[in-house]
Structure 1
């Protein structure tokens, strides 16, 4: 067949358009899979109270459940992929505000669901237990049941969720315990695990079990009543772990005997309130990826010289109530000594630190947002260099023996300052011109026992 030369490009264009159309994702031919629509309505029938109106849009006369609040469907198949119905907190009454009722087993009909977030709700139901049937939702990659007041034990059936990447069972303050944790390594793809407030006191093998989940990046075991962290691991599989929170447990043994000091990729380490004691190990100085280090409310004694000087990525250092004393100049030498410091939060209160504040402290850490060195034995003047900390929001130096005169120069660039407490420094005198215009707007100021006056500009509500 002879073709007009001009028809060839048109034919080619038509072929390309057909090819493009064939590769476009098809929209769901049905608004919602009927079986899954039924399952969601069954879940709603199990809810006795909905103060936030999370399920207001879930109506029986609307068969497009993909448009309902908290529901996300596949554009290709119409199957429900995500159910996100987290509640909230009433900060005035210190209580949960969310759905009240139970989790319907009809959710098992959501065969393709990958994301289930029912956190911060009262969905414990009559049994009060975490439903075992959740372990049969095999497509789940994300499961968040945090802040639901369950009781009893965590069902080992959750170990069947082999696709799970994220598991949050934290803050179940109804009293949940976990004795046998041998099922956890079956979650071979798990990256995030938060068991905060789960009672793990009977799980003495917890480091060995966690070490069998090499995919872990975040591990939070705060308030878990763990008895010790000095187990001996011959081989470390947690080579991807970036965050480790072991705060508020009962270790009561030397820092150096802890098993995790070789995890040099860690970016976050919280060991607060664990009754750990003695010197921090030299290995801490090799954890150069650390951004957050919290070791408050332990018994460190003293800080080894130069221990932290190479931790140039450190953004938060919390040493509150951890030292038994020390000289300010020597401690300054132990802190990160980097050409470009990232430190934004430095907390060293209640440590019996003596000596004067070195001017270099503020030059070395120009990005400080929070500085708390309250309740120590610090003497001498407050260096005027503090006035250059233009990101400083919180300053607490109360309960020391500071002396000398503070003037406008100490505040010259503190444009971000919101809170200041210089109280209980009886030899400290604050003298600024009554007409001085501060570069900041304070929310709270405390100057009790300081010498002030004779007149002082109005900076904020002053609390004595």
Structure 2
């Protein structure tokens, strides 16, 4: 005869069974949610290591390279583009965030270096496929010969609005610097210099749209068409480095309503025909300067007393100028 189960005991067993069933359902649901969530993650989460659309964009860039004698892109094969040379991806999202293809094996670098005279350079073009790298923050293509069919800086670079760092130095572009670069509002580092080409700009007011810009080099770009080049630069207070060496700068107005460059530490104006009294130059008010090059700028006359206030100055290059190097300079330098 089977023992009878009390109603109280039966009720407890029923509740226990229901609880176990509920826990099993919850466990299955949670596991299903995890599986679905993983399925939605980029493929790098499963060990594949590359978002397909971004890999395709990089392969399109590689297709536009006509010569790579230094084998810079030799590792660009296989699925995982995050492991390719010069490519870095975010550990969190898997997106490509860095493209570093600088020619690191340039021949003997003279002052007038350009990438098209160097056999170790990448030759070809900068592909618009890079627009698919929407999370790209850092791009360095410097010291190469990526001129494309018309030798211009591609205007589409102005649409890569996540860029913080852009280095195209040493690429001998021609024609005008595109104003579209002013759309890169997150840019902190911009280097277009050392190309020794026919590149020029008649208007640099686009730089005033770059509120985070800390480093600017436009060395050897012809800026002779700009009547008052200091004024737009003065409107970018974040600047810490300005390199305008060999830019064909001429005498500009020496008056500014206020001086905004309070963070500027390095200023290179060498190899320009400034041709005015050195005492009238406005940069003597920038007391944050640590490096100042005025080499071969056709400045003349006596030094201003304001030089004695530049206590942060470590390097002052005044070579090849018609300056009155008398006790005036020596006494001022004693304070530095």
- Pairwise TM-score range, normalised by the shorter structure: 0.7 to 0.9
Q: CA deviation at 1:34?
A: 0.4
Instruction: Show structure 1 runs of 5+ residues with no match.
Output: 1-25, 312-464
Contact 1:28–1:75 (Cα < 8 Å) also in 2: no
**CA displacement at 1:230 relative to structure 2:** 4.7
Q: Is 1:127 the equivalent of 2:127? A: no
Are the counterparts in 1 of residues 215 and 239 from structure 2 also a CA contact under 8 Å? yes
Shift of 1:75: 0.9
**Aligned partner (choices 154, 165, 173) of residue 142 of structure 1:** 165
1:248 is the counterpart of 2:271: yes
Q: In structure 1, what is the equivalent of residue 209 of structure 2?
A: 186
Q: So what's the TM-score if we normalise by structure 2?
A: 0.82
Matched, 1:168 2:191: yes
Alignment of 1:418-437 (within 5 A): none
> Which 4+ runs in 1 deviate beyond 4 A?
none
Root mean square deviation of aligned Cα: 1.6
Q: What is the aligned partner in structure 1 of residue 63 from structure 2?
A: 45
Pairwise CA distance, 1:302: 2.6
The CA distance in 2 between the partners of 1:57 and 1:278, in whole Å, is 58
Output one character per residue of 1:436-461: Cα deviation in whole Å (capped at 9) or x when no partner.
Answer: xxxxxxxxxxxxxxxxxxxxxxxxxx
2:93 to 40, 65, 77: 77
Structure 1 Cα separation of the partners of residues 139 and 184 of structure 2 = 12
**Aligned-partner Cα distance in 1 for 2:321–2:197:** 28
The count of aligned residue pairs is 284
1:65 aligns with 2:69: no
Q: How far is 1:229 from its partner? A: 4.6
- Residue 250 of structure 2 corresponds to residue 227 of structure 1: yes
User: How do 1:266-281 residues align onto structure 2 when only pairs under 5 Å count?
Assistant: 266-281=289-304
* Cα distance between partner residues in 1 of 2:96 and 2:109: 36
* Aligned mates of 1:174, 1:52 — CA distance in 2: 24
- Cα distance change, pair 65–268 in 1 and its aligned pair in 2 (3 A): same
Secondary structure (helix, strand or coil) at the match of 2:98 reads strand
Q: 1 or 2, which has the higher helix percentage?
A: 2
Is the contact made by 1:230 and 1:253 (CA closer than 8 Å) also made in structure 2? no
Name the structure 2 match of 1:210.
Answer: 233
CA distance in 1, matches of 2:292, 2:200: 24
Structure 2 residue aligned with 1:258: 281
Matches within 5 A, 1:401-412: none
User: Whole-Å Cα distance in 1 between the matches of residues 198 and 317 of structure 2?
Assistant: 26
- Match for residue 178 of structure 2 among 145, 155, 164: 155
CA distance in 1, matches of 2:253, 2:331: 25
- CA change 1:248–1:292 in 2 (3 A) is same
What's the counterpart of residue 89 of structure 1?
A: 106
Find the aligned partners of 1:126 and 1:174 in 2 and give their Cα distance: 15
Q: Could you tell me whether the CA contact under 8 Å between 2:228 and 2:253 is conserved in 1?
A: no
- C-alpha distance in 2 between matches for 1:151 and 1:180: 16
- Aligned-pair distance for 1:252? 1.0
Q: Does the C-alpha gap of structure 1 residues 160 and 288 become closer, same or farther in structure 2, counting only changes over 3 Å?
A: same
**Alignment partner for residue 219 of structure 2, among 167, 192, 196?**
196
After superposing the two structures, state which structure 1 stretch, 267-276 or 296-305, moved more.
296-305
| Equivalent residue number for residue 283 of structure 1 | 306
